[in-house]
Amino acid sequence: MLPISYFLIVSAIVFCIGVYGVMTLRSGIMIMMCVELMINSANVNLVAFSSHFGQMNGQVFALFCIALAAAEAAIGFAILMSIFRSNKNINIDNLNILRW
């Protein structure tokens, strides 16, 4: 059995990739995908701890997270669709109308 730290390190790497992507990428779709990466890294953590402690709670919770991610993706893509309709692109940098 692999030690739990292996899972945690992979999870942390994936999470950092996701954060980096959210902060730097310009395309809305890529940002959505990075958000999915962050959610899934959390799922990895949940499942890892669940099997480490021999309890099922974490795995059930991971299933909820997947469902939640699906819902989030559906709404997120719908928003991106409407942004595309009005701006003819999905470049997030251009969406700065809420500034001072």
Q: Which residues bind another protein (CB under 8 A)?
A: 19, 22-24, 31, 92-93, 95-100
CB of 69 to another protein, least distance (A): 18
Instruction: Indicate the residue among 66 and 95 with the shorter CB distance to another protein.
Output: 95
Is residue 37 within a helix (H) or strand (E), and if so which, with residue range?
helix 28-53
Task: Name the nearest CA neighbour of 44 among 11, 18, 66.
Answer: 11
CB atoms within 10 A of CB 4: 14
- Type of residue found at 66: I
Nearer CB in complex with another protein: 56/95: 95
Residue with smaller CB distance to another protein, 24 or 55: 24
